Structures are given as structure tokens and as C-alpha cells.
């Protein structure tokens, strides 16, 4: 009788430990966010148990002295159903991710239906380069960016971080050879919009020096604000960094190349560009074959941004139309009344919608 009771007790303790561990994993994946305030996180224990089996959300626990040192962390933000784009990237510039200088990962939303989860699980087993953020989808670009930089800081000792869309071809070999000659501090690098009270970097391609990322993450949680659009959220955060260096790089082709016929036959694009936006699946794979991505002898100087743009700073109240949302504390996990349907980009439209800009310099 005593042995039977002892066995039952051992089993009960083991089950309790397993359940506690699984719940802890789920809670740590939520970072500092108040999960009970957001519909994405209203799940049952069964959901948690099912999700943890071979489909673990990104780990945001700081690795301390066990962090890997790299020059660049490259994060491609990609919707769950965009496997075609991810595969095209794997066939193109991803080949330069094999060097010890860079870590390359795809981030996608992890709170998805069973069918999508199974597809993502199979993809992850094949490639091992997917990370899942605890989000459902839709216009949650600001939350995505916050989670992505938290993950990067938790796992790596890096000098620069590049966050890029999954339709952006990156001349990665050229970039890796150029980075050591770029500023180590206060750097914000991308395609900038220049309007009165609306100076911001387009979120399709953004490079930050590590000190800028640290400053972002050192903000008081009570005052840290988020926005549906990451570029506006970041612009608000950057208002608090007076010494920031804006590098508007004309070698970033911002107009959607996939909607420009001449790009379908262009070769050696890395001789002219550092990145090309709107490189949808077939074009991405094509660029991977003919880009001539290699180190270039000349590295252009960074021009003083204020010499080309008479404006400075960002005020969200000046934004108009469907880009205008009031920033709210990140801990509240606000939805701004938006749904969680996948955001349709320009590839789905005959006429692309550009971010508002009267002059980009």
C-alpha cells in the first residue's frame, strides 16, 4: 500500500514539474507584456501544452556570458504564409549567412491555427532558421520590432542589427565588408522620409548600431510606447536620442522593383545598389544568381542628413490617413481596433501604395 502511494506521489510530482515548466516557458516568451489584456494571449492550459510540443515560441531569456559574438544580426520579418518568399531568400543572399560574422533568422507570428503551425513546424525542421513571436498577425509591426530586438539582445553580442522585409534583396556580402567602416554609435541607416515634423526611416530596411538598440530597450516600461507601424514607433523613440546619425543611403532602391519591368532583366545590381525593395519571390531568386554581390573598393561617405533635409524630428499627430494612429503604452498590448488578417503588401495591388512623402532626400 505504501509503495502504491509512493508511486502515485512520484507521478503527481513529476506531472506538476512538467506543467510548471511548460507554463514558465509560455510566460517567459511573453517578455514584459501584460498578456491578459490582449486577445492573442487568452489561451487555456491545453493551448499552452499543445503549443510547446516542437513549436516553442522565441526565447527572450538573456543568455548572459553565453551570448555569441557577431558583427551583424539580420532579422527578416515574414508572415507565416510567406514560405515562397523565405525559400527565395534561402536561394539568394542567405548563402552569405554561413560566415561567422552574421546570424540570419526569419521571425514570423507564432499564435496561428493548427494547419499553419504544422506547415511552419515542417519548415523549421528543414531549415532551422525560423523564430516564432507570440503574436497573431496583422498590423502589429511595432510589437514585432520590439520583440525582435529583445530576442537579439538576449542571445547575441552584436555591433549592428538589420531588420528587413521579406521582399527586400540584400547585397549581404557587400554589406558585411562595409560595416566595419561605419560608425559604431548612434547609427540609423535606411531610406528616410523628409517632411516637416515627419522625419523617419522606412521600416522595410533599417540598420541600427547596438547602442541605439540598447537605448530603445532601456526605456521605462511604463512610458515605452508602441504603434501599429514600426517606423513611426521607432521615430518616436529616436526623438530621445539627440546625437543620432541618420544615414539616408541612395543605394537602397526603395520603389518596388517587382513592379518595374526593367528589373526583371537587370544584372550585377550589387554594383549599384546595397538593397532592392519589392524583390518578390521569382525576382529575389533571380537576383541571387546575377547580383555580383562582392566587396567593393569604394565605400561612400555618410552625408550630414540635415544638409539635404531641412526638417528634423517626428510628431505622430502630423501623420494623416490610414497611417495615423495614436501611440499607446506597449504593456497594454493595444489593438487599435485592427484585425489580425495578414497585412497585404504592394505585391497584391496593381497600383502600389507609397508611404506619404513629398520629398525624400
Q: Residue 249: what pLDDT?
A: 98
Q: Which single residue is written with the C-alpha cell 531568400?
A: 89
User: What CA–CA distance (Å, rounded) separates 119 from 83?
Assistant: 9
Q: Residue 342: what pLDDT?
A: 54
Q: Residue 246: what pLDDT?
A: 98
For the domain covering 46-334, report its CATH number.
Answer: 3.90.550.10
Distance of CA 251 to the CA centre of its chain: 21
Q: pTM for this one?
A: 0.81
Closest CA to 214 of 149, 162, 163, 155: 149
Q: Which single residue is written with the C-alpha cell 493595444?
A: 334
Q: Residue 341: what pLDDT?
A: 63
User: What CA–CA distance (Å, rounded) separates 136 from 109?
Assistant: 6
Which stretches of the chain drop beneath a pLDDT of 50?
1-6, 9-11, 13-52, 348-361
DSSP character at residue 108: E
Closest CA to 213 of 142, 175, 160, 141: 160
Amino acid at each position: 500500500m505504501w509503495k502504491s502511494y509512493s508511486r502515485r506521489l512520484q507521478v503527481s510530482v513529476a506531472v506538476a514539474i512538467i506543467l510548471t515548466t511548460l507554463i514558465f516557458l509560455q510566460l517567459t516568451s511573453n517578455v514584459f507584456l501584460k498578456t491578459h489584456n490582449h486577445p492573442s494571449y487568452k489561451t487555456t492550459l491545453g493551448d499552452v501544452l499543445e503549443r510547446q510540443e516542437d513549436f516553442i515560441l522565441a526565447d527572450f531569456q538573456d543568455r548572459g556570458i553565453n551570448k555569441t559574438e557577431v558583427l551583424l544580426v539580420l532579422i527578416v520579418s515574414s508572415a507565416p504564409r510567406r514560405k515562397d518568399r523565405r525559400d527565395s531568400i534561402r536561394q539568394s543572399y542567405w548563402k552569405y549567412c554561413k560566415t561567422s560574422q552574421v546570424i540570419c533568422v526569419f521571425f514570423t507570428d507564432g499564435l496561428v491555427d493548427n494547419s499553419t503551425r504544422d506547415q511552419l513546424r515542417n519548415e523549421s525542421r528543414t531549415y532551422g532558421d525560423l523564430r516564432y513571436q507570440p503574436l497573431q498577425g496583422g498590423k502589429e509591426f511595432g510589437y514585432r520590432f520590439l520583440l525582435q530586438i529583445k530576442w537579439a539582445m538576449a542571445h547575441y553580442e552584436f555591433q549592428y542589427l538589420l531588420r528587413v522585409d521579406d521582399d527586400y534583396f540584400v547585397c549581404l556580402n557587400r554589406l558585411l565588408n562595409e560595416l566595419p567602416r561605419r560608425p559604431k554609435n548612434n547609427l540609423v541607416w535606411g531610406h528616410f522620409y523628409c517632411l516637416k515634423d515627419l522625419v523617419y526611416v522606412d521600416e522595410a530596411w533599417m540598420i541600427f548600431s547596438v547602442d541605439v538598440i540598447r537605448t530603445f530597450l532601456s526605456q521605462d516600461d511604463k512610458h515605452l510606447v508602441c504603434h501599429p507601424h514600426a517606423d513611426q514607433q521607432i521615430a518616436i523613440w529616436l526623438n530621445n536620442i539627440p546625437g543620432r546619425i541618420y544615414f539616408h543611403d541612395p543605394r537602397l532602391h526603395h520603389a518596388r522593383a517587382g513592379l518595374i519591368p526593367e528589373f526583371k532583366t537587370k544584372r550585377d545590381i550589387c554594383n549599384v545598389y546595397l538593397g532592392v525593395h519589392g524583390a518578390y519571390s521569382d525576382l529575389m531568386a533571380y537576383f541571387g544568381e546575377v547580383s555580383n554581390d562582392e566587396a567593393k573598393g569604394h565605400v561612400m561617405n555618410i552625408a550630414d542628413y540635415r544638409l539635404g533635409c531641412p526638417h528634423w524630428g517626428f510628431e505622430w499627430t502630423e501623420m494623416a490617413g490610414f497611417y495615423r494612429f495614436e501611440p499607446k503604452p506597449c504593456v497594454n498590448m493595444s489593438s487599435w481596433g485592427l484585425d489580425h488578417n495578414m497585412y497585404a503588401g504592394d505585391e497584391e495591388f496593381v497600383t502600389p501604395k507609397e508611404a506619404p512623402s513629398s520629398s525624400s532626400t
